Chain A
């Protein structure tokens, strides 16, 4: 490990969430270390360890009592009092902090301030108090804001318009980490999707899951004869949750202090949103016509039913992000790969596995698909509409 020896306990925040739980499962599987998981109410030891044990089991590493006994769940105090954990963390032997907790609200400034900035500041204070050996901060690949330039694996001194306040606060938190004086590594994953091998996904319905889940809930009574969708023609950077887990761990273990790494798939085989629509409708059938629009503003209001409009609205920000060609520098991940890190890049074939799992896990969706097939579902005719924003200038 570049940052120091691999002994000592590891403190992982966000253990009650998706990516923090994956990091905790990896830590329990790959080390003999004590793993400290600070969480807030209403989470309990049982509620936190359940998904972690499930992830271990899915990897063929049963969560024995001995393994779970190494997980120490402690209450997480408010940000300003986190530094008060220092004596207990020293007693537990914590040397490294993997900060995976965060607020994913798009625009709730109060929650973003507390969850992304105040919490990070509190953990950095704790890190200084215990003389942390390594502080890994989980950020986002989209912290650069919208840009058509190559996004460097460095702190963003220049940045574009932010898709949401979430990306801005993640960028600001990166700077907090960099200026804190603790030895750090920043990892920026793209859109995390289910495991590349079996499609399992432990997260909330973000990213492509928001589109699928909203479709399940709001279009599950039947498609309109003509379906209007917003779907760009640029590759969308997904990273599978197994790739996230292995890549994040490799960054923690192997990168040099001060490194920033994009944890993203290579561009070669990434699908576009239109590819994903054609995959879904080609597999399960759909209405007779599907109209692709690049932007929500181009969809004719009068032609869509209220629930379709709501579904388009609910998925609009993710569609907006997916409509842009993001060019992420990948030198650090490539170097880890050259050193033996094996990751599966996302492609249409691997996203299909995640899609199949999503359908398999949803009786409601299966019933809809079966019913719709009986009613004459077909492979639609796809109509691509021009980007009207070019006309609007």
Chain B
């Protein structure tokens, strides 16, 4: 790869980080991969995201807010997640920070109030909360967003490439989070009780994002809230059942929390 060469960056990163469904090896970044993710400010992404791509930059500004909080919580309370995948999340946040995003534009958008409300409910204060709120729920939400963004042909190559890399970094974290959750929180009915207690509020804050997401990203990208939620719920249910919780109960919790019951 030629640093700074916009023609080669998307394909090169895409090839390096493209996930292989069901392949757990994807979760372990090879030596050097994390370095690839740690692009310095001023690198190619900036060049690829032209000033006209305000909506795309808004998406990345939004994701940066979630990812910064996640990394902050991991560093403070769940270091294994911060270090997972050779520090994939640190590298990813550094990369998002290097993008020419406009925090003021995000703050002025209809996305800001529901995002503020959601993140206020995600200020996890102990390791259990971090594992469940960030490591399980919000990472899988992020993966759903990245997958939908990666799959939309209306996004630029740069954004689709970024989405691929965000997905890879997140998958490294969720694999580590699953292992740590099993060790620290448990499984089955005990985990279900803790999971429902810790995640109800943050799940309940998602619905307020529906209209703003559709309004800002729907027409531009075809990235719609319902599509993201469909992917997110499928992923989260699969992750929860892998941790020993009953599918029927997880779905009931998600339905209740997401629909304000």
Contacts and interface: CB of A to CB of B under 8 A. Distances in A.
A62 B233 CA distance: 45
A308 interface: yes
A217 B209 CA distance: 11
Contacts of A205: 259-261
Given A110-B197, A204-B260, A314-B259, A306 B251 contact: no
Given A217-B207, A221-B214, A314-B254, A206 B226 contact: no
A307 B230 contact: yes
Contacts of B227: 221, 306-307
B261 A306 contact: no
B120 interface: no
Given A109-B193, A205-B260, A213-B259, A164 B229 contact: no
Nearest to A107: B249
A89 B253 CA distance: 37
A204 B261 CA distance: 6
A106 B252 contact: yes
Contacts of A310: 229-230, 233-234
B229 A307 contact: yes
Nearest to A217: B210
B255 interface: yes
A270 B118 CA distance: 41
A313 B233 CA distance: 9
B224 A313 contact: no
A314 B258 CA distance: 10
Contacts of B193: 108-110
Interface of B: 189, 192-193, 196-197, 207, 210-211, 214, 218, 224, 226-227, 229-231, 233-234, 237, 248-249, 251-256, 258-261
Interface of A: 104-110, 164, 204-206, 210, 213-214, 217-221, 305-310, 313-317, 364
26 contacts: A106-B256, A107-B192, A108-B193, A108-B196, A108-B197, A109-B189, A110-B193, A210-B255, A214-B259, A218-B229, A218-B230, A219-B226, A220-B226, A221-B227, A305-B230, A306-B227, A306-B230, A306-B234, A307-B229, A309-B230, A309-B234, A313-B237, A314-B255, A315-B255, A316-B248, A364-B211
